[in-house]
Amino acid sequence: MNETKDIAIEVVGLSKSYGPVRALRSVDIAIGRNEYFVLLGPSGGGKTTLLRMIGGFTKPTAGRILLHGVDVAHLPPDKRPTCMVFQSYALFPHMTVAGNVGYGLKLKGMSKAEIQVRLDAVLEMVGLNGYQARMPWELSGGQQQRVQLARALVLEPEILLLDEPLAALDEQLRKDMCIWLKHLQERVGITFIHVTHNQEEAMSVADRIALIADGELVECGDARQVYRTPARRFTASFMGESNLLDGTVAEVSGDGTVTVDVGIARVAVPSADATAGIQAAVSVRSEAMRLIPRDQAQGADEQALDAIYQEEIYLGLMTRQIMALPNGQTISVRSVSDDDEAPAFQAGDAVRVVWKTAAGRLHLS
Amino acid sequence: MAGSDWRDRYGTEGGGPRPASLGVMARVFSEDGLGKWALYAPTVFVILFFIVPTALTVVWSFFERTMFWMEPGFTLFSYVNFFTSARFENFLFSMLHSSVSVVVSFVVGFPIAVFVRRHVPTVAQHRVILLFILPFMVSEIIRTFMLRPVLGRNGLVNTFLTDLGVISEPITQILFTPTGVIIGEVLSFLPFIVFSGFLAMEAVPKYIFEVCQDLGASRWRTFWDIIVPLAAPGIFAGSVFIFVNGIGVALIPSILGGPGAVNAGLIATQAIIALDIPLAMAVSAIMMVTLFGLLAIGHRLFNLTKILEPQA
Ligand SMILES: Nc1ncnc2c1ncn2[C@@H]1O[C@H](COP(=O)(O)OP(=O)(O)OP(=O)(O)O)[C@@H](O)[C@H]1O
Ligand SMILES: [Mg+2]
């Protein structure tokens, strides 16, 4: 990643405005060769806009796009080393599977025999052998998306762009396709850029994730790292389920922890650098918290907040317990459901929410 | 409990006449009352305004001609008259001219429809298409007649070209020739092809353009490989419409045409003026057979019912 030759896509100061709407504001991203990269973010954040600019379907307002070190600003989609898989089942409705997949090769002037060879190979790869003569309407949604993938892959692009390729599929199929896509990428060994607003989908396929919201790149990093140790407050609120406490930095101690005054209490969080007095937020994942009665003390390496127990929501595998802090903010704690036990607390009980100090994360922005 | 309570109150408090009238309304709109007959309305409509006139046309075309009208009988005289006179030749020529009009209208009008579908924002598309219907606000007679001073010997086109020095002598081969008729027809029917082309393009999903761009299909390839096959049923329907109008509408050749530019509609009109009603009927019957033949071919090729199906 540190050598230019390993960077497949470099986006520098990329912006896009639609009239007064600023869809993308000066985004910088570098995507490595053969990486499975996911653009994740809430709806309307600008993910599609970014992807379409990389593919050449939308012209940037400002900024540069380098594909393998070459500025592609002036190149149309077909002259770029990219291929796009669209969200809708974007097949040619009047062509068979073979016709759809072979069309790009036919345009390149390839002979019928050679097209046939490549067609068989790519359909084998996407698991659609024997479907050559089917029409699009004779295929399921998942199969149609695989035909789209085959149509793109058969052209041997170096970069595959996927705009919410699984959005139209049902939950179970989407999960299966995620695993399948991941394996496919490993097999073909090219760069995948996958747009989604589904966090679970992103986590299950990505090597690295870029979080995009409001036209800005919020955070970019290794998938696990973004989930476990988000740097920004927004990332913490978007990824997984976290409790956020806003406040100011009260004290910076030498042992690598920072004390944050969150209004109702002071909590310690691990942090390397912070200055006293600045605005900060503390986040703790809801599954990293637990509940104890008010009269019980927390461990030496734990932080605690007093709260009033409100209710319990059974989610199947997990159970969510909802508490209210003295300032009215709600805190949610998730734990693996324990079916035998009667609820430990009643609504209105005075409790304490505790978590390991190391599980807290400090966000300065 | 609650159910009977509700029914009781409805029956008593509503008073005597109300439930009765409700009953009548219910009966009228129930499935075996008017509701059932409403289903037959289109059938009645088709019989009354389509099948009966068509059948009468065919029947009358075999009647004997009298001085001012016709009398029942069975004779092929009108058909013999049609096929053995210059009328048949004129009819064939009008089919040729009509075909040319269809092709020209298609070449000029369909790209407009494609453009609107592709580049105009979806919300504005229908408004843009309505602009093309505006000329219909002007009576067709006036629209057609206005072409005379434009295309004539000392008309706008000739004056303009002479002034530019492109030609030294005015072109006289436009007005009162098949060329004039074709120009008139194209101008008259262009909005139809734009409109039907627009509807035909509904069968072409918008993503197609980007997929083609991505795969590296030129505009030309995109057009022939993808757009035309997908829009074919709609294009065909629009073309048949223009073609039939081209051979059937008497107005344009009677204003812009000359002796060599007569169509079936004008032949029929002239027959009526000459009080040869069976001949007019025979010409109409032949036109109808032509139309049905075209539709049958079209249906074979494109399954025209697809046009009426909602697109996914
Ligand atoms: N063609 C356009 N004209 C005007 N505004 C647009 C256009 N395309 C996108 N936008 C705006 O740009 C912003 C970003 O849109 P974009 O489609 O990139 O979001 P996204 O992250 O892909 O969202 P989603 O998850 O809903 O697909 C939105 O506010 C959107 O309204
Ligand atoms: Mg999008």
Does some domain include residue B168? yes
Q: How far is the CA of A46 from the centre of ligand 2 (A)?
A: 7
Tokens 């139309």, residue? B291
Shared-domain flag, residues B107 and B211: yes
Question: Which residue, among B207, B213, B215, would best test binding to A if mutated, counting the most A CBs under 10 Å from its CB?
Answer: B215
Task: Flag whether residue B208 sits within 8 Å of chain A, measured between CB atoms.
Answer: yes
Reported as a single tens digit per residue, the pLDDT across A68-91 is: 889 998 899 999 999 999 888 899
β-pair type (A191-196, A159-163): parallel
- Asked, for residue B166, whether it belongs to a domain, the answer is yes
Determine phi and psi for A52, rounding to 5 degrees.
-70, -30
Q: With contact defined as beta carbons under 8 Å apart, do B179 and B173 qualify?
A: yes
Q: Among B132, B138, B137, B100, which Cα is nearest to B113's?
A: B132
- The closest alpha carbon to A144, from A101, A186, A103, A206, belongs to A101
Most confident of A20-34, B151-165, B266-280: A20-34
Statement to judge: residues B172 and B281 lie in one domain: yes
Q: Which among A334, A324, A307, A329 is positioned nearest to A242, based on CA atoms? A: A334
The answer on B84 and B33 residing in a single domain is no
Helix (H) / strand (E) element for B65: namely: strand B64-65
- Which residues on chain A place their C-beta less than 8 Å from a C-beta of chain B? 55-57, 76-79, 83-84, 86, 88, 90, 92-94, 103-104, 107-108, 151-152, 155
Evaluate: CB of A43 within 6 angstroms of ligand 1: yes
Q: How many domains does chain B have?
A: 2
Higher per-residue confidence, A338 vs B246: B246
pLDDT of A170 strictly over 50: yes
Residues B17 and B166 in one domain: no
Ligand 1: does its nearest atom lie under 6 Å from the Cβ of A80?
Answer: no
In a domain, B134, yes or no: yes
| Residue B264: per-residue pLDDT | 87
Q: Range of B83's domain?
A: 78-308
Task: Report the 3 state secondary structure along chain A.
Answer: CCCHHHEEEEEEEEEEEECCEEEEEEEEEEEECCCEEEEECCCCCCHHHHHHHHHCCCCCCEEEEEECCEECCCCCHHHCCEEEECCCCCCCCCCCHHHHHHHHHHHCCCCHHHHHHHHHHHHHHCCCCCCCCCCHHHCCHHHHHHHHHHHHHCCCCCEEEEECCCCCCCHHHHHHHHHHHHHHHHHHCCEEEEEECCHHHHHHHCCEEEEEECCEEEEEEEHHHHHHCCCCHHHHHHCCCEEEEEEEEEEECCCCEEEEECCCCEEEEECCCCCCCCEEEEEEEHHHEEEEECCCCCCCCEEEEEEEEEEEEECCCEEEEEEECCCCCEEEEEEECCCCCCCCCCCCCEEEEEEEHHHCEEECC
Say yes or no for a CB contact (<8 Å) between B214 and A93. no
Does B228 contact chain A (CB < 8 Å)? Answer: no
- CB within 8 Å of A257: residues ≥ 6 apart: A268, A269, A270, A271, A357
Total residue count of chain B as it appears in this document = 312
Atom of ligand 1 nearest to the CA of A41: 21
Q: What integer is the mean pLDDT of A180-192?
A: 92
* CB count in 10 Å sphere of residue B304: 17
Per-residue confidence at B309, pLDDT binned at 50, 70, 90?
A: low
Whether A90 and B205 lie within 8 Å, measured CB to CB: yes
For residue B104, being part of any structural domain is answered with yes
Determine whether the interchain pair A57/B208 forms a contact, defined as Cβ–Cβ distance below 8 Å: no
Residue B299 lies in a domain: yes
B129 and B239 together in one domain: yes
Q: Which residues contact B284 (CB under 8 A, 6 or more apart)?
A: B57, B61, B268
Q: Are residues B26 and B84 in the same domain?
A: no
Confidence of residue B140 (pLDDT cuts 50, 70, 90): confident
Q: Which residues of A touch B210 (CB under 8 A)?
A: 57, 77, 84, 86, 90
Are residue B112 and residue B261 in the same domain, yes or no? Answer: yes
Please answer yes or no on whether A78 and B210 come within 8 Å at the CB atom.
no
Q: Which helix (H) or strand (E) holds B99?
A: helix B86-119
Dihedral sign, Cα of residue A109, residue A115, residue A121, residue A124: positive
Are the beta carbons of B225 and A103 separated by less than 8 Å? yes
The mean pLDDT of B156-171, rounded to a whole number, is: 84
Ligand 1 atom closest to Cα of A24?
14
How many of the other CB atoms lie within 10 Å of CB of A261?
16
Q: Is the pLDDT of residue B5 over 50?
A: no
Return d(Cα A185, Cα A34) in angstroms, integer: 8
Q: Are residues B28 and B143 in the same domain?
A: no
The arithmetic mean of pLDDT across residues A203-227, rounded, is 92
* Range B232-260 average pLDDT: 86
Q: Give the number of other CB atoms < 10 A from CB of residue A117.
A: 12
Atom number of ligand 1 nearest to Cα A42: 25
Give the pLDDT of residue A340.
Answer: 67
Q: Which amino acid is at A293?
A: P
Q: Do A151 and B217 touch (CB under 8 A)?
A: no
Residue A4 in this model has a pLDDT that exceeds 70: no
Is A44's C-beta closer than 6 angstroms to any atom of ligand 1?
yes
Instruction: Quote the tokens at residue A206.
Output: 């990505």
Alpha-carbon distance A169 to A142, whole Å? 7
Q: Percent of chain B at pLDDT above 70? A: 86
Tokens 């070209």 found at: B161
The Cα B213–Cα B218 span in angstroms is: 8
Q: What is the pLDDT of residue B3?
A: 39
Examine residue B194 and state whether it is found in any structural domain, yes or no.
yes
The mean per-residue pLDDT over the stretch B282-294 comes to 91
Q: How confident is the model at residue B12 (pLDDT cuts 50, 70, 90)?
A: very low
Arithmetic mean of pLDDT, B34-57: 83
pLDDT band of residue B225 (cuts 50, 70, 90) is: very high
Give percent of chain A with pLDDT exceeding 70: 97
Ligand 1 atom 31: residue of nearest CA: A44
Q: Are residues B111 and B18 in the same domain?
A: no
Q: Is the pLDDT of residue B25 over 90?
A: no
List pLDDT tens digits, range A94-142: 999 999 999 999 999 999 999 999 999 999 988 899 999 999 999 988 8
Give the N- to C-terminal CA distance of chain A in Å, as an integer: 26
**CA–CA distances in Å: residue A18 to residues A27, B123, B165, B198:** 16, 17, 48, 27
Token look-up 């639609």 returns A18
Candidates A93, A94, A104; nearest CB to B216:
A104
**pLDDT-derived band of residue A147, with 50, 70 and 90 as boundaries?**
very high
**Do both B100 and B225 map to the same domain?**
yes
Evaluate: CB of A45 within 6 angstroms of ligand 1: yes
The confidence score (pLDDT) of residue B4 equals: 40
Q: Given CB atoms, is B12 within the 8 Å cutoff of chain A?
A: no
Buried b (16+ CB within 10 A) or exposed e, B195-231: bbbbbbbebbbeebbbbbbbbbbeeeebbebbbebbb
Do B126 and B6 fall into the same domain? no
**Would you state the pLDDT for residue B29?**
57
Question: Is residue B142 less than 8 Å (CB to CB) from chain A?
Answer: no
Ligand 1 pocket mutation pick from A15, A18, A39, A59 by most atoms within 8 angstroms of CB: A18
B230 within some domain: yes
Average pLDDT over chain B, rounded to an integer = 82
* Separation in Å, CA of B210 to nearest CA in chain A: 7
* pLDDT, mean of residues A31-48: 93
Q: Which of A57, A92, A152 sits opposite B226 (nearest CB)?
A: A92
Q: Do B210 and A86 touch (CB under 8 A)?
A: yes
Where is average pLDDT lowest: A9-13, A37-41, B2-6?
B2-6
Residues B29 and B84 reside in one and the same domain: no
B226 interaction partners in chain A (CB closer than 8 Å): 92, 94
**How far is the C-alpha of A209 from the C-alpha of A219, rounded, in Å?**
8
Residue B132: which residues within 8 A CB-CB, separation 6 or more?
Answer: B112, B190, B191, B194, B195
What are the pLDDT digits (tens) for B73-122?
888 888 998 899 888 998 998 999 999 999 999 999 999 988 988 888 88
pLDDT of residue B134: 82
Higher pLDDT, B19 or A319: A319
User: Is B89 within the bounds of a domain?
Assistant: yes
